Structure formats: structure tokens, C-alpha cells
Chains A and B, each alone.
Chain A
């Protein structure tokens, strides 16, 4: 079965550079969620989109922005990168909107290292 695809899987950037992470949800899933997991930490919710509109916002820095496109894929744009942005970034998707009953399926994550 198709899963959530994230690219790239690994990314190395310098401080103050920008990065773009991409997420391709499971086919026919209409909702995408982004989470950030720092070293030794639990995943923290960043932002979510339903039908290409932002549906919820968590602890996402102002330096980050995201959007969901007409084909339902999503991109997380990160500017002015800081050392503390080094983390594993997960994308998850679900199939019946942001209603609480649905299961979120997680991608393999993008490991971002900021030097």
C-alpha cells in the first residue's frame, strides 16, 4: 500500500540558509500535518492543512511557512535556519478531514541538520 512520502530524507544546511521540505500524502488523503522532533524529544505539532487551507497551527516559528497544493502535497519552507532547527521533521496524512476520529499516517521523516 502507498505510504506518505517525504523528500528529501536527509538535508544539511548552514545557519541562515533556507530549506524546503516536501510531503506527498497517501492518495485520496485530504489533510496533512507537520511535526518536529528534536533530538531525544517527543514530536511537536507545527501546522496542518485540510483541503489546501490551514486548519490548525502549533508551535511553528514565524521563520517557517507551509502550504498545501492542489494535488494535496505540502511544502514546509524554513528560512534563516538556526542550529536549534536541527530535527526530524515528520509529515502525516489522514483521509476524512481534520475531524478527530481519523488516523494520522506518518511519513519516514526528513532529517535536517543545520551546521
Chain B
């Protein structure tokens, strides 16, 4: 059974800092990995999707990397801003007939002005 872990559960940084959010998964046989952002009580906004054959994806100040063999992904946020404060969830999609996403519990980021 796939398990996705995100540590730490919370992170507080000063504005302008570059930061890395980590995600690990137990079964490396995945089709893709997706990073989401969730504001309190709100929906899920997809940030980046990395196919299993890819090593990284970039969108603006965000860069996500994937090391499938070691079961790890990182989300790099450059020059963090208070507006980046939210919970960031990592989700993996397994191989096989199962089409669901398995989520981590998320990292709650607070960027201090």
C-alpha cells in the first residue's frame, strides 16, 4: 500500500527566503506525482505535475523535482512571499488499474513579512 509522508508538518520562514518542501513515498512504481496548494478551508489548487519519466517541472518561482528510485520529491519555492502561506500537499498516482491519488498530510507554510 502506497504511503506518502511530508515532514515537517509545519514550517515558518521570513519573507524572501528560498525554501524546500520534502515529500517521500514508499512505492516507487508511480505514474506521476503532483503538488497542490490548499488555503484554509478551501479547495486544492494544482501547482505542478511530474510524470514518472521526468526529473523536474518548473512554474514561475516553483520548481518540483522527482527521484523515483529513492521515492522522493521536493518542491522548491524561490523568494518566498507572505502570499505563499498555505498548506502544500504532495500526491502520487500509482501504476496499475488503480487510478486514485494518494496524498500526504501536507506541510503548512507560514511566510512572515
Binding site for A on B (CB under 8 A): 4, 31-32, 34, 36, 41-46, 49, 51, 89, 91, 93-95, 97-106
**Contacting residue for A100 out of B45, B95, B103, CB 8 A:** B95
Instruction: Give chain A's interface residue range (CB within 8 Å of chain B).
Output: 20 to 34
Q: Kindly count the residue-residue contacts between A and B in the assembled complex, taking CB atoms under 8 Å apart.
A: 62
**CB of A64, distance to nearest CB on chain B (Å):** 16
| Known contacts A103-B49, A107-B43; A56 and B100 CB within 8 A of each other | yes
Within 8 Å by CB of A42, from B97, B100, B105, lies B105
Is there contact, CB below 8 Å, between A90 and B44?
Answer: yes
Answer yes or no: A111 CB below 8 A from chain B CBs.
yes
- Which residues from chain B contact A90 at a C-beta distance below 8 Å? 43-44
A58 and B45 alpha carbons, distance in the complex (Å): 22
